Amino acid sequence: MGIQKPDYQMYCGETEISEQFIKLNVGGQRFMLRKETIRKRGVGRLLDLVNKSVADSNADAFFSATSEFYFERPPALFHIVYQFYLNGIIHQPTNLCPVDIIEELEYWRIIPDEYLASCCCAQQPDDDDDEHEEQDKPNLFKTLKFGEIRRTIWNIIEEPASSGKAQVFAVFSVFFVLISISGLVLGSLPELQVATKQKNNLTGEEYVEMEPMPILGYIEYVCIVWFSIEYGLKMLVSAERSRTFRQLLNIIDLLAILPFLIEMLLLIFGISTEQLRDLKGAFLVIRILRVLRVIRVLKLGRYSSGLQMFGKTLKASFRQLGMMAMVVMTGVIFFSTLVYFLEKDEPGSKFHSIPAACWWCIVTMTTVGYGDLTPITVPGKLVATGAIACGVLVLALPITIIVDNFMKVAETERPAGGNRYRTSQYPSEPKATKSEQMVLKVA
């Protein structure tokens, strides 16, 4: 059997291809496919072999003895093509270069973007949405009243990179967040506080309390008005209000304005915060609501790709962090119980309870070492040595996994193009093609 180029005059009308099968020889390895299978796919270079005669074939050679079409191509790569004609899906073997696979598919005139299996595509990080859901989201506005106007407003609020107006809105949002945080910080300085006389309605006694300067309060109200308008507009134009309400960043936005909303609600019913100061429980609630204002700093995560990347890294490392917390908790209970029973009877010992010993153990295992509690006895110091060694090991082991997850998140973020503003549930930026995702998954 010899290898020869097809002699069109010799084989035209003389050599007929089998009625049902077509024989292929790719780099010395033989393959056989039914013509019906190739016609069913309807694409590729093999379709020409089915529809044309031997003289018109695009093979590199033809073996007359075995009626085989010869292609001088790598047989390992052709297995992907062969599998495609069998099941209609392209899978990427891990031992093959994705660039070689794409070039081989292009030679056989098969477009990878249309047939590449989803399991072989690089996962692009979006906010817990499936790919098909993301493609359907922009169409939700079409069925709503004032859909185009609502979508325009939504993109301005949630898509800072979508237009110039959206970028201006994002700049204003970041500006008000920074002003609000600055006012909260500056209001704690004694130089920017004024003394106000307060009266206890229960006892009638007067006392002096330091409050931030009135100008800082006015700035706070201006910022709160902006945050309220931003959140109200977002909920008003959203295509799925319940889903928008449950998103983490929107929950943060709500908590940022919650103290102001509660204060306004109390004023509507004729109750001021000063009247609640005399009630111990109500005063505690007021303090908690004031502390909630610090949550506004988390609003910066909406516009910072670095904070988003950090959050996704923690989410990807949740299992490792949970394991570390469980081991640390076990060690804390174990060592704190030991040191408590070894130190409690010593004169001047501060280990008066196991919870107090737990605080010492947490500080010791995390290698912080405040020094407020220290063991005195030799057995107690030996237990402390064990706690230190155990803490170093427990904290060091998950670090490599967390760093690896961070690198994976950073690599997946890179194709989207630097600083990603996409926090919306309705993404508008085009995604990478499947062939590009195949290369990215291996890279």
How far is CA 248 from each of CA 94, 99, 251, 422, rounded to the nearest angstrom?
36, 39, 5, 14
Rounded Cα distance, 344 and 340, in Å: 6
**Is 14-120 a CATH 3.30.390.30 domain?**
no
Left (φ > 0), alpha (ψ -120 to 50) or beta: where does 33 sit?
beta
Rounded Cα distance, 199 and 44, in Å: 87
Distance, CA of 241 to chain centre:
22
CATH topology of domain 307-413: Helix Hairpins (1.10.287)
Rounded Cα distance, 305 and 12, in Å: 65
**DSSP letters spanning 251-283:** HHHHHHHHHHHHHHHHHHTT--HHHHTTSHHHH
Candidates 17, 80, 20; CA nearest to 44 is: 80
Cβ proximity of 322 and 435 under 8 Å: no
Q: Determine the pLDDT at residue 429.
A: 44
Q: Determine the pLDDT at residue 88.
A: 84
Residues with Cβ within 8 Å of 373's Cβ and at least 6 positions away in sequence, in order, are 350, 351, 356, 357, 359, 360, 363
Cβ proximity of 292 and 261 under 8 Å: no
Place of tokens 């290369």: 439
Q: Determine phi and psi for 269, rounding to 5 degrees.
A: -90, 10
Q: Determine the pLDDT at residue 438.
A: 57
Cβ proximity of 104 and 81 under 8 Å: yes
Per-residue pLDDT of the chain (443 residues; tens, 9 = 90+): 444 444 444 444 444 445 788 888 998 899 988 888 888 888 888 888 888 777 677 788 888 888 888 999 898 888 888 888 888 888 888 888 888 888 888 888 888 777 777 777 655 444 444 444 444 444 577 777 888 888 888 888 888 888 888 889 988 988 988 898 888 888 888 888 888 776 665 566 776 777 888 898 888 888 888 989 999 999 998 888 888 888 888 888 888 888 788 777 877 877 665 655 555 555 556 566 666 677 777 777 777 778 888 888 888 888 888 888 898 899 999 999 999 999 888 888 888 889 989 999 999 998 888 888 889 899 999 999 999 999 988 888 888 888 888 888 888 776 544 444 444 444 444 455 655 555 555 55
